[in-house]
Structure 1
């Protein structure tokens, strides 16, 4: 049973500081994490491919991530960073693609969750950058908080040729048990056909010391119902997830949350959606143009009876 982990991080503090690790409760993460630190746990959980995601808004990081992917059998795609507001964003994306490992570049992300302007995503210069990402055949990962979801929806509507991948369900307040206004805003985003969602980042938004799958289920059910499993993918958010759970526990919790889907739906969440969206090895040829959500009907969920980090 092959699993794609569509969201994890790596960093080397000897190369670059990660200032966000100075946040409260993050001391266990203040060390370097290399591919070898993940591989054994990933293989033990049936993970056969991963997507490596940026951690800081730094131009130097993306070439390093691409080089890591080139030297790894497990990492099959990279979501990097570039300055979306720069006039030369298209040229920079082309440069990144030409670097060693550049063929692994599948997407771009910016730490929108840290932007004080809740409408940052709809600024004219940002929308221009997002159109360049679409033209480059890449996807755009959204790391936002609930109050930023309306702007994310407007941006996705303004750039219909770009696939927007919502990281961590939009960081709902799981620890408090509150669902609104997050749920309504997620449904508005999901109504757009060029959006997908990662079933990731939940254990660190829950009570990190006492969370249960039952605590996560209302939030997972919301996105599965809103997007349909053909537009939902699993991600571990390792090593950030280790603040609340071991890697295998995160994989197991996602498996349990998808257990009531029919076999086709479970396969989509486990690997199918990520394989298509990030164009991983094994993606059906010609099924979808790069940078777009694959066409076809959403598989219904049949058989149904905020943390200060990099994201």
Structure 2
């Protein structure tokens, strides 16, 4: 199996603005490669994709260095300033195993941030470099994401956490329609990740997630879904193994081949990972 979405961090070394508030105290500690190796080995996961946590090129450089030394990390989703005039040169200077770029768009007050001319120019550079762009958006930003997908069909987009459906509130629209509109673009795939922390952290059950997972299965299909743990954020609501168990249960209606695609083959194809999990090439 390949875990297409996890993080590492150390609050003693770097500030994480999204960790503000006492609710995140349970995960406000260092999470290291040793921790990652322990949880993935126990779960039978043989390769992972490490994803940025802050808007910092320094973090990207650190993650690439960590991944180069750690066999389980097959790819890195880093951060670069998409609006920088020299973005193409910056992207070209990133070393293996870089596989994609992400910005925490969900924190941007402008719902159409993705459509700013400078951002679009940066995203064209991402596509030209053969990299993937991970979309971290809120429901209100889904229309802009769908417009982006239509304008840049050459850019492979990965929707993180299924756009964070309002599971705890039990709400459906406009999330469901927004995700369906985005899924209509063939250059978009979706991560089956981050859902337990959109549910009630202390009272969630697999059944609470099922309606939302069935929807993304319906609009994307198993050929455009990939599993991600969102560890260690998931520990606010569930352990690594519980997240994996929930994902396996929620995909129980799939054939063996479809489930293999969701839990391994799609991540290889989307991020350019070879059979061993390592990065093969960009694009």
What TM-score results when the alignment is normalised by the length of structure 1? 0.88
> 2:18 matched to which residue of 1?
20
The aligned counterpart of 2:67 is: 69
Shift of 1:12: 2.1
1:39 aligns with 2:37: yes
Unaligned runs of 5+ in 1: 97-101, 292-311
2:240 aligned partner? 247
Distance (whole Å) between structure 1 residues aligned to residue 133 and residue 47 of structure 2: 19
Question: Given that residues 165 and 198 in structure 2 are in contact (C-alpha distance below 8 angstroms), is that contact kept between their aligned partners in structure 1?
Answer: yes
Residue of structure 2 in register with 1:216 after alignment? 209
> Is residue 148 of structure 1 aligned with residue 146 of structure 2?
no
Structure 1: distance between partners of 2:21 and 2:72 = 30
Could you tell me how far apart the structure 2 residues matched to 1:185 and 1:170 are?
Answer: 9
Kept after mapping to 1: 8 A contact 2:272/2:281: no
Whether 2:105 is the aligned partner of 1:88: answer: no
**Displacement, 1:23?**
2.9
Structure 2: distance between partners of 1:77 and 1:138: 11
Shift in Å at residue 197 of structure 1? 0.2
Runs of 4+ in 1 over 4 A off after TM superposition: none
Q: Deviations over 1:157-182 (max 9, x none)?
A: 11110100000000110001111110
Matched residue of 2:172: which SS? Answer: coil
SS in 1 for 2:93: helix
1:307 aligned partner: none
Which residue in 1 is equivalent to 2:58? 60
CA contact (8 A) 1:85 1:129 kept: yes
**SS of the counterpart of 1:14?**
coil
What is the rounded CA distance, in whole Å, between the counterparts of 1:89 and 1:80 in structure 2? 13
Secondary structure, counterpart of 2:173 in structure 1: coil
Aligned equivalent of 1:110: 103
| Maintained 8 Å contact 2:273/2:281 | no
User: Match for residue 297 of structure 1?
Assistant: none
Q: Distance in 1 between matches of 2:215 and 2:154?
A: 25
Root-mean-square deviation (Å): 1.5
Work out which of the residue numbers 160, 167, 188 in structure 1 matches 2:181.
188
CA displacement at 1:60 relative to structure 2? 1.1
TM-score normalised per structure 2: 0.96
- Specify the SS of the correspondent of 1:256: helix
Equivalent residue, structure 2, for 1:236? 229
> Would you say 1:120 and 2:113 are equivalent positions?
yes
Residues 55 and 25 of structure 1: CA distance in aligned 2, closer, same or farther (over 3 Å): same
Residue of structure 2 in register with 1:168 after alignment: 161
Tell me, what secondary structure is at the counterpart of 2:23? coil
CA distance in 2, matches of 1:226, 1:252: 23
Task: Report the number of matched residues.
Answer: 281
Contact 1:146–1:172 under 8 Å retained in 2? yes
3-state SS of paired residue (1:52): strand
1:215-270 per-position Cα deviation (integer Å, ceiling 9, x unaligned): 00111111111011110000000000000001100000000011101111111111
Shift of 1:290: 4.4
Structure 2 residue aligned with 1:49, among 28, 33, 47?
Answer: 47
| Offset of residue 15 of structure 1 | 2.7
Give CA deviations for 1:116-146 in whole Å, capped at 9, x if unaligned.
0000001111110000000000000000011
Cα pair 2:101 2:133 within 8 Å, conserved: yes
CA distance in 1, matches of 2:281, 2:53: 27
Q: Does the Cα contact within 8 Å between 2:127 and 2:155 map onto a contact in 1?
A: yes
Rounded Cα–Cα distance in structure 1 between residues aligned with 2:111 and 2:21:
21
Q: Which runs of 5+ in 2 are unaligned?
A: none
